[in-house]
A and B are shown apart, each in its own frame.
Chain A
Amino acid sequence: MNAKKYISWIVLILIATLIPPILNLPGSLQYLLDLSLIYAIVAIGLNLLMGYAGQISLGHGAFLAVGAYTSAYLTLTLHVPFFIALILSGLITGIVGILLGLPALKLEGNYLAIATLGFGVAVTQIFAIWTSFTGGFSGIKPLKPELFGFKFNSYLSYYYIILILTIVLVILTWNIIRTKVGRSLMAMRDSEIAAKAMGINVSYYKTLAFGLSAFYTGIAGSLYAHLLGFMTPYDYAFSIGMSLNFLAMIVIGGIGTISGSIIGAIIMTWLPQITSNLPIKSLSQIITGAIIIAVVIFYPNGIAYAGARLKDKFEKLFAKHQEKIVVKIEK
């Protein structure tokens, strides 16, 4: 990573740190900001699986539920401290991910999409009837996290926990994708036979990709549970609809990029909110849909690449302009 990129990331982190207290957002908007970062973690995890390893999943809403309920159960019933529950939720969801990854070894493309979709539906159904674990329809109330006696009661204070975790996960992801594991995943995505010939154990890395992706989503699930004051298995974030939303996030933001995952998550979380103030109720969804379609048409590689393309265009324009000047002088 070059110096320019470092600086832009640092500026971004500073903005993310300072803006919320300066803006002093009302609770509902601060909640949305918390949520968009949680979804960004899911999107990064999903992008590892889809963008880097080339495996599809339409079941990430279910992974979010596994993480959320694991964390709620650990903290409420077993009285495990929040931060330990957070890590354990990631690990347990990761194991569930590995288990789902096993059938994925035999399935590809559309068939894998359907299998993960089935997983998504099954988990929600199981959680709905498994009332001793989830509380069922009457729900449960996950606790607000506590660290050294400080209770993260407000959405703003909780925002910083989420922000720090997001930054840590972005750094870890960045390190993973540019070393052996990342290269193996991308190689497998681009050509399975060549990857095998180069000594990559494709079965191992496919399973690993599912486990890793689920780990991120489990962490996000834990954060989500403690953001909510009240949670039922019927929560929209655990549904198939949300799984498709996660997919939309990485497609809009940019498949195979970390920045794209974050951009996509922020857009998909805020767009409905911004358009919801319009006078006609269903207009919000229509506009959201239209914007998604427009992005996919005009920036098929996602918004993360759009910035780079704009820069290229400017540079080319500038180069042409310079050429003209040179020609004039020569004349």
Chain B
Amino acid sequence: MRWHQATLLVASGCAMVEAQANLLEVEGARVRFRTLGFLRALIAGAKDPYIDAVLDVSFAVRAGETFGLVGESGSGKTTLVRAVLGLVDLWSGRIRFDGSEIVDRSDAAFKPIRRQISLMFQDPQASLSPRKTVRSSITEPFIIHNMADRDLEAEARELLGMVGLPVGLLDNYPHQLSGGQARRVGVARALALRPKLIIADEPTAGLDVSVQGEVLNLMNELQGRLGLSYVIVTHNLPVIRHVSDRLAIMYLGRFVEEGPTAAIFARPLHPYTLGLLGAVPQPDPDKRREEPGLMGEVPSLNNRPRGCEFHARCLYVQERCRVDAPVLTEVAPGRRAACHFPLAGS
């Protein structure tokens, strides 16, 4: 019933999806990693032996939508989704999934929720065990979740059918698959427990441009058919522009901008977003840029800049930015940005 409903909603476009309740809600998420041991911190006299990989992140993913998470290496996008999956602990903040609060991940109540969220790993060749056949890789989730009493052979065949692979591949090992096939097996495994939300970490990294469309089209088709929601983590901006409904841009563990994908690409609000979009090389020799765009590098998490954390690289920096940290606020309907002087109107 629910799947049917969601399919209808997807078919009737974004406006109706908005009416749908949020599937995933993250509020004030913070993930800290200890960088110095107790003794070394004591000796060094370090006040704070932690770094914040994710800081004050709040967002929601609606049923049936695709949410894109982009940022450069070290921006915290992978840590954020790992926290949603319970693979790293939240220091503070709350996560709600499908209406219920995730309180304790070790709790028996978490397992049924966890079943509804699955992860598609970045490199399927590396994330599939080289010693397991496709059959055992894609049926392993049933065993982990004590659902092995099902007809696993039938499940395996159905899953391969869903991702458009011949059942003949069931007895193959990962090294016998092409890059595109391995990617499809990764999708099949993510679908095994019929999740509501799939988190895809760089689903097209390492794929040739003629093959990446295949994987994205398959994901899109499955979304329409099963009413899935996706969170796609990527640094590939040209791809995310086509495949996501909404988008968040991360910098040093925080959201600096969030909103509908089309609006962000048409008119970014945050200078960092503008710089990021401008850095994408255009496959047209008439559109060469004389300037390299954003200069400098992402600062270290150990040494967060004062004021706005982007001010040292910002082309529009003003006095206030050096001292006063901006907060992510709604700048236009449905659009948030963490900037004192958002680029609206320009």
Q: Do A and B come from one complex?
A: no
Residues of A within 8 A of B (CB): none
